[in-house]
Amino acid sequence: NGSAGATLAKSRDSTKGRNVMAQQADDAVEGGSHFITSRRGFLGSTGLAAMGAIIGGVMPLSPDGGGIPAAHAQAAAPAPKGPQYLKFPGKNDKLVVLGEKPLVAETPESLLDDDTTPIEKFYIRNNGLIPEEAKNPDAWKITIDGEVDKKLEITLGELKSKYKAVTRRMVLECGGNGRAAFSPPARGNQWTNGGAGCAEWTGVPLAEVLKAAGLKKTAKYTAHYAADLHLSGDANKPTLSRGVRIEKALDPHTMIVWAMNGQPLPNIHGGPVRLIVPGWAGSASQKWLTKITIRDKEHDGPGMTEFSYRTAIKPMIPGDKGDPKNMRILESMPVRSIITNPANGAKIAAGTRELKLRGASWAGDLTVKQVDVSTDFGASWQRANLEKPKNKYDWQRWTATLKLPTDGYFEIWARATDSKGAMQPHLAGFWNPQGYGGNAMHRIAVLVG
């Protein structure tokens, strides 16, 4: 997502729904690959590779493609190699690298099976260079300026001591999550559904800090700035700087946070201090936060204009160049559900007639009112048991028990419906150049016996 590092995809990896051009571009990057281990065929005896062999070479479903018709998936070019796995201190080695420079890695759906996503499994999205870890976190300074009565400069230490800390479990989701399901492929990191996680964030509501600075009547929009350098390393080049309408900034759930799951916020997730703007595209949740400027108009920093984090007003012809005048800013993320257990490609014992499913669902600013699952390609649906969120912007876990009539190959589909009645579509629709809003139903394949 975003404007940096975008690669126009030409073809798709048939087994993972990934972008072959992007993969080749990754291959071309020399050095810097100490983050990466390439373990082709890691899936082993329970994985897709083995299943492909069992079934006859080709998985008829592009499983992470989130709804690419089987015929389309089969027509796509074969994978040059399997996915690349992340090797990064403190991170699970099953995270999948979508880009090395900047470093971007997603969490396979089956790794999102915990109620609270552990830090080691949480996805990573950078637009620029990762800064060095702060040596003295409490001395980190944040400035609030612009349309305020008095400019505020506050250290993280002061933030912790002067304000009442709150902890909330909330989803952080990349604006491009689900992009891999678009056809033709859209520009940017080819996220399946793993550009999301749900962590316990501790900090203070941004509204409290803005109150201390005093918002002027002219305050309309925020502009977020950070300490990470542009990918080129050039300190004069601006890095990602997004903002939100002042109403969203004042939502008590929009927070300046310094802890994640009770731990000091790790550097890779924006430590020592970042924003969390829940429900909206993750790019608004500035990592390594140094300054918020209050503006009297919509912010126009890198990531705010043209096609970045924007969807089409009048639906576009898929693959078209598009007109920036026909785009509007992506704010709340769309409804999504994922099956977190079993894993895609799971091999299940012969004779199994009852299969327990677990999953998660969320819906940007809204809640999820219903999740349904299907084993017959959407011909019939069964309602899942859906839990309530712990607090607003938490995800909602769900479970279901499926009857399997025979041994054999099954696809399991999951779809969620939000509190306003919007349901996930079968395919990623409303194509746009950078591929936002792709929330096709999640599909996994399992083999019984």
Ligand X SMILES: Nc1nc2c(c(=O)[nH]1)N[C@H]1C(S)=C(S)[C@@H](COP(=O)(O)O)O[C@H]1N2
At a CB cut-off of 8 Å and minimum separation 6, what does 142 contact?
Answer: 153, 154, 155, 156, 159, 256, 273, 289, 290, 291, 292
Within 13 Å, how many C-alpha atoms sit on residue 326's CB side? 14
Nearer to ligand X, 104 or 346 (CB): 104
Selected range binding Mo ion among 17-25, 237-245, 283-291, 397-405, rule: CB under 5 A? 283-291
Nearer to ligand X, 16 or 121 (CB): 121
The one among 83, 128, 178, 282 contacting Mo ion by CB under 5 A: 282
CB of 411 to ligand X, least distance (A): 29
Report if residue 283 touches Mo ion, rule: CB under 5 A. yes
**Residues 109-168 within binding reach of Mo ion (CB under 5 A):** 125
Kindly tell me which of 146 and 175 has the beta carbon lying closer to ligand X. Answer: 175
- Of 212 and 227, which CB lies nearer to ligand X in the complex structure? 227
C-alpha to C-alpha distances, 65 to 43, 68, 195, 427, nearest whole angstrom:
18, 6, 14, 9
Give the residue closest to ligand X by C-beta.
Answer: 282
Beta strands in 218-324 (DSSP E): 221-226, 255-260, 263-264, 274-276, 289-295, 310-312
Q: Which does 286 bind (CB under 5 to 8 A by kind): Mo ion, ligand X, none?
A: ligand X
Is 212 or 231 the residue whose CB approaches ligand X more closely?
231
* N- to C-terminal Cα separation, the chain: 40
Q: How far apart are CA 191 and CA 448, in angstroms?
A: 28
> Pick from Mo ion, ligand X, none: which does 119 bind, CB < 5 to 8 A by kind?
none
Minimum CB separation from ligand X for residue 205, in Å? 18
Instruction: Name which of 129 and 422 has its Cβ closer to ligand X.
Output: 129
Please report how close the Cβ of residue 217 comes to ligand X at its closest, in angstroms: 29
**Angle 124-249-209 from CA coordinates, rounded to 5°:** 100
Q: What is the largest CA-CA distance in the chain?
A: 70
- Please identify the residue of the shown chain whose CB is closest to the bound Mo ion: 174
Residue-wise burial string across 60-95, b where 16 or more C-beta atoms lie within 10 A, e elsewhere: bbbbbbbbbeeeebeebeebeebbbbbbbeebbebb
Kindly list the residues in this chain that would bind ligand X in the complex (CB under 6 A).
Answer: 1-2, 122-128, 172, 174, 226, 228, 240, 269-270, 282-283, 285-288
Residues that bind Mo ion (CB under 5 A): 1, 125, 174-175, 282-283
